């Protein structure tokens, strides 16, 4: 007999299949495609088992607890690196290894999977945080390209998964009604999160393949850095900080005079081409002398231009001033303005008009 939970699972299956159609053929989304394929398989087995078509033959769904966690992790990693190596399949070995126990000891498999998913969630959060930090070191539009939204999706999904896994671990002690309600709510929330994830990936403003250059350039430069010889990076920065003051003075003068900061989506690589300076020298000069990352340094210059033009052009819309200064959206402008000025742009303009 088909229940409401089965209908929600069928809707989740449909959304996952739609996501596969929308993302198929895009190499930079291969990790998310693998994740969606796993969701499709989970939904199919869930429907087969809960309609009693395969439950008496073999119970498979408990092992998916150990598969979804590394699938989320690899999906994010592939977005940052633009590829997945064959060795990544090793992440799914525990899932296959525990498959024989899924029929006889499903509660043990679910309990192990609970800890497994939490561990991978922490790894994924760490990966997202590292990448967002790299973005701020190399791009002026870091806020728009940030994977912070995915961190929120992952946080909610992890919380929902932990509660649902707790339900599964306590399944024998709970009544049938409570189990169905818990399963229905968990599946419904997963459906909404998956739909949101697909929409965000489809509407990503910049090709994820270009973002992989951020990750690759940073890691390749780390390998070439003297820090690889065993010296602490912090010590190298403190010892050589004075050497970058001349570079920063020249760099800062050129950026202000040529107003390069007004270029939308300005990146460290683009600034290197404009100045002829090495990207790593530019980054270190800004970090050590200005005490800022690349994103904050460029946006600070943009904010200062907007402040000047607020006084010179009091009737010009704020969004026009922001776009002229190099910002790409109203949200990124408002965020940066509050960060540096402590007020919203409209509140600051009103304050200036009243003085």
* Neighbouring C-beta atoms of residue 303, cutoff 10 Å: 22
Looking at the fold, whether 150 and 190 belong to one and the same domain comes out as yes
Residue 82, pLDDT above cutoff 70: no
Distance from C-alpha of 232 to C-alpha of 238, rounded to nearest angstrom:
10
Distance from C-alpha of 139 to C-alpha of 294, rounded to nearest angstrom:
7
Give the global pTM.
0.76
Residue 212, pLDDT above cutoff 70: no
Q: pLDDT tens, 88-119?
A: 889 989 888 888 887 778 778 878 888 888 89
What CATH number is attached to the domain comprising 259? 1.10.10.60
User: Mean pLDDT throughout 249-275?
Assistant: 92
Looking at the fold, whether 155 and 247 belong to one and the same domain comes out as no
- Predicted local distance difference test score (pLDDT) of residue 326: 94
Q: Which residue has the higher pLDDT, 37 or 218?
A: 37
Looking at the fold, whether 115 and 185 belong to one and the same domain comes out as yes
- Predicted local distance difference test score (pLDDT) of residue 223: 46
When pLDDT is cut at 50, 70 and 90, the band that residue 236 belongs to is very low
Looking at the fold, whether 202 and 239 belong to one and the same domain comes out as no
- Predicted local distance difference test score (pLDDT) of residue 154: 82
Residue 217 maps to a domain:
no
Distance from C-alpha of 110 to C-alpha of 169, rounded to nearest angstrom:
7
Residue 216 maps to a domain:
no
Q: pLDDT tens, 295-345?
A: 999 999 999 999 999 988 888 999 999 999 999 888 889 999 999 999 999
Residue 215 maps to a domain:
no
- Predicted local distance difference test score (pLDDT) of residue 215: 56
User: Mean pLDDT throughout 17-41?
Assistant: 87
Distance from C-alpha of 122 to C-alpha of 155, rounded to nearest angstrom:
10
Looking at the fold, whether 124 and 158 belong to one and the same domain comes out as yes
- Predicted local distance difference test score (pLDDT) of residue 228: 36
Looking at the fold, whether 125 and 188 belong to one and the same domain comes out as yes
What range defines the domain where residue 301 resides? 233-354
Looking at the fold, whether 22 and 165 belong to one and the same domain comes out as yes
User: Mean pLDDT throughout 82-87?
Assistant: 74
Residue 44 maps to a domain:
yes
Structurally, the chain folds into a number of domains equal to: 2
Of 96, 92, 103, 112, nearest in space to 169 by CA = 112
* Tokens (6 digits) for 242: 């004075």
Q: What is the mean pLDDT of the chain?
A: 82
Q: pLDDT tens, 142-198?
A: 887 777 788 888 888 888 888 877 777 777 777 777 878 888 898 899 999 999 999
Looking at the fold, whether 201 and 305 belong to one and the same domain comes out as no
Contact 64, 38 (CB under 8 A): yes
Residue 135, pLDDT above cutoff 90: no
Looking at the fold, whether 142 and 32 belong to one and the same domain comes out as yes
Contact 65, 114 (CB under 8 A): yes
Looking at the fold, whether 46 and 172 belong to one and the same domain comes out as yes
Residue 220 maps to a domain:
no
Residue 224 maps to a domain:
no
Contact 335, 143 (CB under 8 A): yes
Share of the chain above pLDDT 70, in %: 85
What are the phi and psi torsion angles at 276 (to 5°)? Answer: 80, 5
Count of alpha carbons within 13 Å of 205, Cβ hemisphere only? 11
Residue 128 maps to a domain:
yes
Looking at the fold, whether 65 and 184 belong to one and the same domain comes out as yes
Looking at the fold, whether 287 and 334 belong to one and the same domain comes out as yes
Distance from C-alpha of 112 to C-alpha of 66, rounded to nearest angstrom:
8
> Radius of gyration over alpha carbons of the chain, in Å?
25
Residue 72 maps to a domain:
yes
Domain boundary among 147, 178, 210: 210
* Tokens (6 digits) for 330: 């109203």
Distance from C-alpha of 159 to C-alpha of 151, rounded to nearest angstrom:
12
């Amino acid at each position: 007999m088909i229940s409401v939970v089965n209908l929600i699972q069928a809707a989740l299956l449909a959304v996952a299949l739609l996501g596969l159609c929308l993302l198929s053929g895009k190499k930079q989304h291969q990790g998310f495609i693998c994740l969606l394929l796993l969701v499709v398989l989970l939904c199919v087995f869930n429907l087969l088992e809960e309609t009693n078509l395969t439950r008496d033959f073999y119970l498979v769904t408990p092992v998916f607890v150990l598969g979804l966690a590394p699938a989320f992790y690899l999906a994010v990693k592939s977005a940052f690196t633009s590829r997945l190596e064959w060795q990544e399949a090793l992440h799914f070995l525990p899932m296959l290894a525990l498959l024989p126990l899924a029929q006889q000891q499903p509660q043990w498999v679910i309990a192990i999977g609970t800890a497994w998913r939490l561990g991978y969630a922490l790894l994924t959060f760490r990966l997202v945080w590292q990448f967002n930090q790299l973005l701020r070191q190399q791009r002026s539009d870091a806020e728009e390209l940030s994977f912070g939204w995915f961190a929120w999706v992952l946080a909610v999904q992890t919380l929902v998964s932990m509660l649902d896994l707790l339900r599964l671990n306590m399944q024998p002690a709970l009544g049938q009604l409570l189990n169905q309600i818990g399963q229905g709510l968990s599946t419904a929330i997963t459906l909404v999160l998956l739909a949101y994830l697909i929409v965000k990936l489809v509407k990503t403003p910049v090709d994820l393949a270009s973002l992989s250059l951020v990750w690759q350039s940073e890691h390749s430069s780390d390998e070439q850095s003297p820090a690889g010889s065993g010296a602490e990076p912090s010590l190298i920065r403190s010892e050589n900080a004075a050497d970058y003051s001349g570079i920063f003075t020249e760099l800062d003068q050129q950026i202000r005079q040529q107003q390069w900061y007004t270029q939308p989506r300005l990146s460290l690589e683009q600034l290197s081409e404009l100045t002829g300076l090495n990207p790593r020298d530019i980054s270190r000069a800004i970090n050590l002398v200005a005490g800022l990352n690349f994103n904050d340094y460029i946006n600070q210059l943009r904010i200062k231009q907007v402040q000047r033009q607020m006084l010179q052009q009091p009737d010009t819309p704020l969004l026009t001033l922001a776009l002229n200064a190099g910002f790409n959206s109203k949200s990124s402008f408002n965020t940066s303005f509050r960060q540096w000025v402590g007020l919203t742009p409209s509140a600051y303009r009103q304050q200036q008009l009243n003085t």
